[in-house]
Amino acid sequence: MPFWRWVFNVFVVTSVAELHSISCTASFSSDQQQLDRVLKLPGQNFDVSFAHYAGYITVNEESGRDLLYWFFEAEEDPSSKPIVLWLNGGPGCSSIAYGLAEEIGPLHIEKDGKTLYLNRYSWNKVANILFVDSPVGVGFSYSNSYSDLLSNGDKRTAADNLKFIEKWLERFPQFKGTDLYLTGESYAGHYVPQLAHAIVKYNEKNGEETINLKGFMVGNALTDDFHDHFGVFQFMWSVGMISDQTYKQLNAKCDFDSFVHTSEECVEVLVIADQEIGDIDMYSIYTPPCTANFSRLSHIWRSKTVYKVGLLRRSYDPCTEMHSVQYFNLPEVQDALHVRSRNSRWETCSGLVNQNWQDSPQSVLDVYSELLNSGLRIWMFSGDTDAVIPVTSTRYNINAMKLQTVRPWRAWYDDGQVGGWTEEYEGLTFVTVRGAGHEVPLHKPKQALTLIKSFLSGKSMPEMELLSDS
């Protein structure tokens, strides 16, 4: 998710009958693949029909940079399904904490922080899903060289993620040649297109498509610092969160600032905006925040913010992050996931990685300009109640690309209700999800499953189904 908080904050008991869920091409699997098989997870009192694996891929032998992955085969016929790689942003936030444990993964954590339940809208209903904690220093990923944790940045992250995919496919040879799609949210708006670009260049250099990349999709994604700032401030002003004066000051002091390396002049105005906004969840402005005593480092404000939380139905629990912190710090859980490094308490996001982030280009629109002509399927989506990277920011970014509209703005439907809105351009599709916050699959899991189904099939978002009178 998250960009580091405020803007950038952003399991199984296997029975004999389940053994058939190992891929039908398992005879070609590596020995290490089978060692990575997750056979049992604490807190799971149900069976599953799919195999899953967790382990480490070394992306740099010299310094010992190891990335932890967690891979879930599709519920049915995994050999016929594509692979969807999910990345969370921050920079410095765990894809296992967010994308897996509270968004698109099949196994979610109950409020007790010890028990698991099945996510009925998991994306492994339509794809094999692969999560990786990237870069080193995030989640359970680590390096033998401490200096690596202080020198992360966009370029090395893209290079390491490319190396990860290359070596992961060596460990899982049965998936070589399988269609690959990249997905993610928030600061993964940098990671995902940059990785797609690296894969395209890698394939060109090798003279063949050794990594069968078919497309990518990003949600509430950081794309261009100017357009993103401009859109954030306009969104906050338009929904009545900040005053006219503060809105003017934000545009004057912050529009040309970096999201990652914010100037003190901009921070001064952001603090005023924070006071005007009050105690709400900026990632989902119309839902109650978490009332538990849970501090989240706010990168934009450079201060501690305590989010308050109330109890809601399972459809949306504002304290999901707290459940992850409790669960993934259990030694028996770490044993089940083959975790190696246990030098410190597991965190959803690493302040050390975030605060020492190196290169972060002010825009990735130039990357899009190259990839739009590469034949990849490219989608952007946006939860429309997010004030971190809101729908206005994404629309300004798309407008800056000056794309030809091939299907005009319209509503899309889910079970007869408007699920959001969409417009299709030459080379890119944009989808909003009505009522969703920064983590779209957390707030609107059913609609998010509809989204990934449409994306993978290359079909437009669903229209209203007209019922006959007969």
More reliable by pLDDT, 257 or 444: 444
288 — pLDDT class (breaks 50, 70, 90): confident
Cα(160)–Cα(386) distance, integer angstroms: 30
Residue 257 appears among annotated catalytic residues: no
| pLDDT single digits (tens) 61-89 | 999 999 999 999 999 999 999 999 999 99
Q: Which amino acid, one-letter code, is at 232?
A: V
| Catalytic member of 229, 323, 438, 443 | 438
Q: Which two tokens stand for residue 363?
A: 């825009």
35 pLDDT higher than 60: yes
- Would you say 308 and 279 are in contact if contact means Cβ atoms under 8 Å apart? yes
- Would you say 125 and 75 are in contact if contact means Cβ atoms under 8 Å apart? yes
290 — pLDDT class (breaks 50, 70, 90): confident
Residue 147 appears among annotated catalytic residues: no
Q: What kind of architecture, by CATH, is found in domain 16-223+361-457?
A: 3-Layer(aba) Sandwich (3.40)
| Domain map (residue ranges) of the chain | 16-223+361-457, 226-319
CA atoms within 13 A on the CB side of 284: 25
Dihedral-angle region of residue 181 (phi above 0 means left; psi in -120 to 50 means alpha; beta otherwise):
beta
Residue 108 appears among annotated catalytic residues: no
- Return the closest-CA partner of residue 461 out of 443, 446, 444, 447: 447
- Would you say 347 and 325 are in contact if contact means Cβ atoms under 8 Å apart? yes
| Catalytic member of 386, 393, 443, 454 | 386
Average pLDDT, the chain: 88
Q: Supply the pTM of this predicted model.
A: 0.89
Residues 6+ apart with CB under 8 A from 16: none
**What is the DSSP code (8-state) at residue 468?**
P
**Among 213-227, 255-269, 298-312, 347-361, which is the least confidently predicted range?**
298-312
| Residues 166, 167, 169: CA angle, nearest 5 degrees | 70
| Catalytic member of 23, 29, 186, 284 | 186
- Return the closest-CA partner of residue 376 out of 431, 428, 315: 428
| Residue given tokens 């444990």 in the structure block | 101
User: Could you tell me what percent of the chain has a pLDDT over 70?
Assistant: 86
> What number is the average pLDDT over the span 266-294?
89
Instruction: Decide: helix, strand or coil at residue 137.
Output: coil
- Would you say 287 and 308 are in contact if contact means Cβ atoms under 8 Å apart? no
Based on its alpha-carbon atoms, the radius of gyration of the chain, rounded to whole angstroms, reads 21
- Return the closest-CA partner of residue 170 out of 211, 141, 133: 211
Q: Reply yes or no on domain 226-319 having CATH 3.40.50.300.
A: no
249 pLDDT higher than 70: yes
